[in-house]
Structures are given as structure tokens and as C-alpha cells.
Structure 1
């Protein structure tokens, strides 16, 4: 009897195993083609457009507000990626330092805690000094010169220097040329700057620019600049036209000189290991969207700068000096020693390509 019972039990177990196998197969058939690895499989769930992109969530962090050129470009990138991927790729944009701020965003992207950041280019100079090229006085003649460099071999070579630090440079985004305001004198010659106390962002190059012209420079937080001007702690400051207008500096400044002496520029940076792990099709989509978002940022800068200068003129609170070519050349010659000193510390191949881009 025990042998019969053991045989019966054994057969029952085999029957149960067979039933479970059939049930498993039945459950698997409806799922065929859905894919298993959401982050990397080309067979990931497809959107209505049947795009076939992998399921992916991207965190993009920056410190500006949504209504700035940088913020609008970031939202354009999100729109393009999510639309073109049929909803499979999600881009979560965190503006105004909501996720990471100036002091920790670079470390965050290196650790892949965030996938894309957009810091000021000068903040990357600790990895490659040539990122300070935008602070070199009169390095770029105009927007066309700047874009020819950024989109050409020189700009791409500069972005590629981040590879060895666990990062990948995707693009440069604009923030406008810098100009000078003050409340003491109409500045149309380098000698007019002598004796002025000027607020800067604190970079060594730009500080030496003012020291060379006989002015003193001081680093003051951006959100504290208006009060410093109002109290007379400083006489003037340098900034983009959009910032000058939106920060209402015309209420505490009498003179604006359109010098275009330096550039405020951003770099779009991602985590290299994360990027390299993406499918080629996804990389292609993100690259295309980044190019279009870059154009959006450039268009926004042009639009907002035109609106800002017209508003400043209509308000009539600041007298505006538009330098002639001869006057601008005088400024350039006066601070040429600063350019020569710092340019020599940078990658000469990139510097030469930057110069050639303007020819």
C-alpha cells in the first residue's frame, strides 16, 4: 500500500507541475513582444505612433526660471523628446534650482542622480580652463561668430574635453552679450571706467578687465545687485540686456553702454556612462531634439533682447551709448593684455578655431 501511495503522490505532483507549466505558458503568450528591460530594450512598450523607443525617464535640472531663454529651451527639449518617442521617453524638467543648485549640480550629474544639467560654461573651467573662453574680452564679434564657433570643430572639441570626467557635453545655450551700466558717467572710452566700482560674477578674467581700465570690481550675488546699486555700495555692473531690463536697473542707474565685451553662455551636460548606455536610436532622437532646443534658445534670446532694449529706450531712464567700431576697438586695445595673458593658458587649438570662426 505504501508503494501505491508513493506512486500516486508522485503522479499527482507531476500532474500539478504540468498544470503550472501550461498556466505559465498561457500567461506568457499575451505578453509576447512587450519587452522586459524598460531602460534598454528596443522592444519596450510602444506609443501610438509605434515609434518603438525604449522606456526611459530623464531628469533635467537647471537654476533659471521657465520663462528665460534657458527655461524655454529646456521645455522645448521636453516637448520634442516626449512627442517624437510616442510618450515612451519622459523628460522631467526641474527649473529654478528645485532639484540641484549651482553648488551641487555638477557632482549630481557625475553621479547620475540627474541626467542633464545646464550650468554656466565658466563653472566647468575646473575641468578644462578653456571653458572660460566666453569671458575673454571681445573674443566673439557677434552672434554669428559665436554660433560658428559653438557649432563648429572648436566648440565640439571643447565639449569633448568633459568625456574623461564622466560627463558629455551636448550643446551650448545662449544668455546674451554683456554690457556696462553705471550711475556716474557716460562711458564711451576705456578712460571713463577709471575709478568706478563695478559688480561682476567674480571670475578672474573679467575682474582683471576692469582692473586694467582702472576700475575696481567686486563679486556680489545676482539677487543682491539691485540693492547694492541703490545703496551706492557699487557704481555699476555688467550684464545681458535682458537681465538689465528685467532687474529694473534703470531705476538705480543713469547710463548704459552697449559694449558686448564678454559673453554669458551655458553648457548642456549629461552623464557619459548613462548616455553611452542608451540605444543608438534614442541617442539620435535626443541629439536631434537638443539641436532644435538650442535653436529655440537662440531665437528666444534674440526676441527678448530686442524687446528689452526697446523697453529701456521707451522708459528713458538710462542714457544709452552705442559704441562705434572705432570706440569698440579702443576698448579692445586697452584690455588686450588681459586677453593675451589668459588665452595663453587655454587650449591653443580651440582658441585658434574660435578666432577662425569669425573670419
Structure 2
């Protein structure tokens, strides 16, 4: 009887050891969920990250990319991440308002003159520290990804702020963006991105704000006769993961993954820059929509009308942070 029990215990221990060994050999799976197509800057960045991890980390880590909201949309992916159902995502910066006030800085109108100024600030100590402002709430930012500077499209020409009075503009869910349009006596409407084309086509809304690449790829220019080149805002994303997942990785593995992600983001950001230039020209060449270039005097009127929004959110974001971001324009 004793021999039988001993044999059983030995067999059980052996089975457990084999199981643990097999578990240790299994790759870490990273599910990367995003909401756009694979041929976009974000989609290409995600696929580049997958390729780099496969090249450098072999069977240790496997990245699975789920584009076009196949797993989650931007409105529920962060909750799914905290539950461990997804490990990486890249929502628009406006989507983090429930977790931190600091990232609302990037929605402030006319804060940055161009993407070079954005890069200078985001790579600064203050810009980098903002990515960790949600750590205690279970999220860690790993890198900023560009889409581009935003323009205003409309059913009628917009040259000065008074031209927007009474018009309805679609916005992402953001108190800053809401205040931005209220500052010019327009009506902001929070609507899903997927509905914008139909809303414009049926004239349920009068206009929207977006980057050249989004205006072109989603064919907004086909149903909006005017696009005013304001460069008034920024549409960027934050590549994000859960604190529990990221800090639970071995340090060497975490370092390798961050290096691969940094390289993929540089790749994606260059695509975003190139695509913005190309898509702007494609819209002009289409002759479907007139691109309005503002004079310095006209642009100054937009800045003057919208800049009070900074003061409205200064307490939440921090005056020092806003000043540091604005200073990135003057180098």
C-alpha cells in the first residue's frame, strides 16, 4: 500500500513538473486591438510591431493584431484591458478623460503649431511623464502615435469664426472639444466616428474636424464642399497597456518589447506625416471640395476666439504643463 501511494505521488509530481515546463515554454500572447484598417498609419504601426517582435523574440512572445474593432471599440477597450482580455490598444487621446485630466491638454485648440512642436513636447520630460499619469488606475502609456493636425470641413465656407455660428459639428467625446465649438457659437454633437459620413451626407450635421488622412480615407471630402486648413488641433493616439500586465513581465522581456514598440511608432509616425501631405493633395486634385487657406489675419481671429478654452481647463490640466507645451513652438 505504501509503495502504491509513493508511486502515485511520484507520478503526480512528475506530471506537475512536466505541466509547469510546458507552461513555461508557451509564448506570452499579446493581443493588440485597434479600430482602424490595416493600411492606416496605426494599422501599419501595429503590424510592424508584430513583425519586429517575431523577428527578435522568436517563440517567447506572440503578438496578435485585431484591426477594425474586431475585438473591441475605443469606448470599451480600456475596460477590457483592465480585465486582461487585451494587452495593447491605441485609442485617441480624448478617450482617456475618465482616467486622467492631463491628457486633455492635447485637445486644447491652437496649442501646437505643427507636428514638430508636438514631437518636441511629447519627447520632453513632461510629455513622457504624462503617459504614466494613469498608472494607479491600472493603465500605462507606452508611446504617442500621430494621425495629424486637424482641419475643419463644412457645408459652407469658413474663413472667420463668425461663419461657424449656429452650425452643428461632430466631435469626439471630450469636454475640451465641446467647449472649443461653443466658443465660436457652434453646436458640438458627440457622435461615433463610424456615423460621420452618413451624418454629413444627410446633412444631419454641418461639419466636422479631422486630419487630412481621415477626411480622405473616409471620403468626407466627397460630402463636404469646403475644408478650412486651420491646423487648430491635434489627433494623436496613446499606445497603452495595463499596469498589471506590463509590470508582471520579466524586466528583460519588457525592455525588448518597449524597444520594438518605439521603433514601430517611429515607423508609424513617419507614415502619418507622409500620408497627411499626400491626402491633402489628393483632396485638392479631386476638385470635390475646396480647400480654404486662411490669411494670417483670419487665422488670428480663430485663435483669439478659441484660446479662452485654455483658461477654462487650466486648473484641471495645470498651467505649468500648458505653458511647457506652448513653449515647444518657439524652439
Relative to the length of structure 1, the TM-score reads 0.82
Cα contact 2:101–2:317 (8 A) shared by 1? yes
Residue correspondences, number: 322
Match of 1:195 in 2: 166
Match of 2:303 in 1: 332
Match of 2:317 in 1: 346
2:71 maps to which of 99, 109, 124: 99
Match of 1:144 in 2: 116
Deviation string 1:95-127 (CA, Å, 9 cap, x unpaired) is 112122223211111122221121121121212
Provide the rounded CA distance (Å) in 1 between the counterparts of 2:304 and 2:252.
49
Deviation string 1:274-331 (CA, Å, 9 cap, x unpaired) is 2112122111111111111111111111121122111111111211112244432221
Deviation at 1:37, TM superposition (A): 7.2
Match of 1:311 in 2: 282
Deviation at 1:247, TM superposition (A): 2.0
SS at 1:160's partner residue?
A: coil
Match of 2:216 in 1: 245
Provide the rounded CA distance (Å) in 1 between the counterparts of 2:191 and 2:140.
31
Deviation at 1:38, TM superposition (A): 4.9
SS at 1:358's partner residue?
A: helix
Q: Any residues of structure 2 matched to 1:21-170 within 5 Å, and which?
A: 36=21, 38=23, 55-170=27-142
User: Alpha carbons of 1:80 and 1:183: their partners in 2 closer, same or farther (altered >3 Å)?
Assistant: same
User: Alpha carbons of 1:202 and 1:275: their partners in 2 closer, same or farther (altered >3 Å)?
Assistant: closer
Provide the rounded CA distance (Å) in 1 between the counterparts of 2:74 and 2:165.
32
Provide the rounded CA distance (Å) in 2 between the counterparts of 1:349 and 1:290.
29
Match of 2:291 in 1: 320
Provide the rounded CA distance (Å) in 1 between the counterparts of 2:59 and 2:123.
29
Unaligned 5+ runs, structure 2: none
Cα contact 1:201–1:220 (8 A) shared by 2? yes
Cα contact 1:55–1:89 (8 A) shared by 2? yes
Provide the rounded CA distance (Å) in 2 between the counterparts of 1:323 and 1:128.
34
Tell whether 2:196 aligns with 1:225: yes
User: Alpha carbons of 1:231 and 1:56: their partners in 2 closer, same or farther (altered >3 Å)?
Assistant: closer
RMSD: 2.5
SS at 2:21's partner residue?
A: coil
Provide the rounded CA distance (Å) in 2 between the counterparts of 1:289 and 1:329.
42
Provide the rounded CA distance (Å) in 1 between the counterparts of 2:121 and 2:22.
40
Cα contact 2:108–2:233 (8 A) shared by 1? yes
Relative to the length of structure 2, the TM-score reads 0.89
Cα contact 1:209–1:338 (8 A) shared by 2? yes
Q: Any residues of structure 2 matched to 1:206-225 within 5 Å, and which?
A: 206-225=177-196
SS at 2:262's partner residue?
A: helix
User: Alpha carbons of 1:331 and 1:80: their partners in 2 closer, same or farther (altered >3 Å)?
Assistant: same
Deviation at 1:196, TM superposition (A): 2.2
Provide the rounded CA distance (Å) in 1 between the counterparts of 2:245 and 2:192.
34
SS at 1:214's partner residue?
A: coil
Provide the rounded CA distance (Å) in 2 between the counterparts of 1:273 and 1:348.
31
1:357 maps to which of 312, 328, 331: 328
